[in-house]
Every structure is written in structure tokens, then in C-alpha cells.
Amino acid sequence: MLPELEDLETCFQHDYNFETERFTIPSGNAHLELMLKIGAMIKDHESTDTLLVVYYGGHARIDEARQSTWCASRSPDSPWLQ
């Protein structure tokens, strides 16, 4: 795990008493799985007193269409999302 992710999670949990959850980019249907995950989180926690923070800790590159792509690792066959 990334040290900065551990530090951020510790800060959220211990300093602010926030709940945290990690989501790793899956190798299959990555975009759909992320949308389902975010949708479920919103559905389960939507309230005027809820703060939803999404932190991305990974890699990025520009694809052939010049679009930003999030990647789980630097490997060419890494799971990715546009």
C-alpha cells in the first residue's frame, strides 16, 4: 500500500472519526464497477450532513485519443479507467 494513502486514512479515521473504504481498480469492467461503487456509496450515505471524499492514489497516462486515463500501476496491462 502507498504510504501517503495509509497516512491519509489514519488522519481521516483517528483525527476526524471518518469511516474509510478502499476500492482497487478491478481488471474487468473497471468503469462500470467504479460507477456502481460510487452510486452505492451515495445511495447508502446520502444526507445533508455527509461528506463524501474520493481520493485517487495511482498512476495516469494520456491514451491515443488524448484522454486522461487512471491506471492501477505503471504496467502496460494494468487495470485502467478513463
Q: Give tens-digit pLDDT for 32-64.
A: 998 899 999 999 998 999 888 888 877 888 888
State the pLDDT confidence band at 1, using cuts at 50, 70 and 90.
low
- How far is Cα 11 from Cα 34, in angstroms, rounded to an integer? 24
The percentage of the chain sitting over the pLDDT mark of 90, rounded to a whole number, equals: 32
State the pLDDT confidence band at 26, using cuts at 50, 70 and 90.
confident
Tell me the CA end-to-end span of the chain in Å, nearest whole number: 22
- More confident call, 30 vs 12: 12
The predicted model scores a pTM of 0.68
